[in-house]
Chains A and B, each alone.
Chain A
């Protein structure tokens, strides 16, 4: 069964303390992997798309990487405004659906 698993469920960091969020996936063929950010009470906001193993993308303090089985979202020197839920989603080849993980809630304390 195709699935997307994110870990940890929640992560508490001090401001400036770098860390990584994990997204592991099981699909027969990967078309694309997406990262979204979701603030409380709002809809998800698109961050990155990764297509193939070895690919990396960066935006401010965030860097997403992709292997054949998982993706990491690295957060360098986070700030309190980076606090949010980060969602990983996968689209498989030959299908029409995007499968979402349950998300990682990130809390960054000043």
Chain B
């Protein structure tokens, strides 16, 4: 069974704090993704990575950065959290080639920024 785990289910942070969201997958997948999910907007891609130390911007990268030092781990960093980053954050992974391959999602981290 593919397993994607995220470090926290719920997180509450203050405006201006630096926030780290961690994601680990155990299926040796090459591709990893970070999305945010907001009501009525669907899932929007923040960043993705197709290999260790490689990263590509998605649709909404502003205010975020990522790190992929090991194949199984993909971290999302909010450099200075703001209230408009309150959202559900979902990590996903897929095997190469990406084409025709479904993504496996983690349980999500609900982040609240006060």
- Interface of A toward B, CB cutoff 8 Å: 4, 31-32, 34, 36, 41-46, 49, 51, 87, 89, 91, 96-98, 100-103
B105 A45 Cβ-Cβ under 8 A? yes
Of B50, B98, B107, the most chain A CB neighbours within 10 A belong to: B98
In the bound complex, residues from chain A placing their C-beta under 8 Å from that of B48 are 96
Can you offer 16 A-B residue contacts whose CB atoms are under 8 A? A4-B42, A31-B99, A31-B100, A32-B100, A34-B103, A43-B90, A43-B105, A43-B108, A46-B102, A49-B100, A89-B43, A91-B98, A96-B48, A96-B56, A97-B58, A100-B35
In the bound complex, residues from chain B placing their C-beta under 8 Å from that of A45 are 105
A44 B59 Cβ-Cβ under 8 A? no
Partner among B43, B59, B99 whose Cβ is within 8 Å of the Cβ of A87: B43
Q: How far is the CA of A32 from the CA of B105 in the complex (A)?
A: 18
Partner among A31, A51, A98 whose Cβ is within 8 Å of the Cβ of B103: A98
In the bound complex, residues from chain A placing their C-beta under 8 Å from that of B35 are 100
In the bound complex, residues from chain B placing their C-beta under 8 Å from that of A31 are 99-100
A91 B99 Cβ-Cβ under 8 A? yes
Partner among B40, B90, B102, B108 whose Cβ is within 8 Å of the Cβ of A34: B102
A53 smallest CB distance to B (angstroms): 16
A42 B107 Cβ-Cβ under 8 A? yes
Interface assignment of B104: CB less than 8 Å from any CB of chain A: yes
Partner among A44, A87, A102 whose Cβ is within 8 Å of the Cβ of B40: A102
Partner among B42, B50, B98, B108 whose Cβ is within 8 Å of the Cβ of A42: B108
In the bound complex, residues from chain A placing their C-beta under 8 Å from that of B59 are 97
Q: How far is the CA of A44 from the CA of B103 in the complex (A)?
A: 9
In the bound complex, residues from chain B placing their C-beta under 8 Å from that of A42 are 107-108
A105 smallest CB distance to B (angstroms): 10
Interface assignment of B45: CB less than 8 Å from any CB of chain A: yes
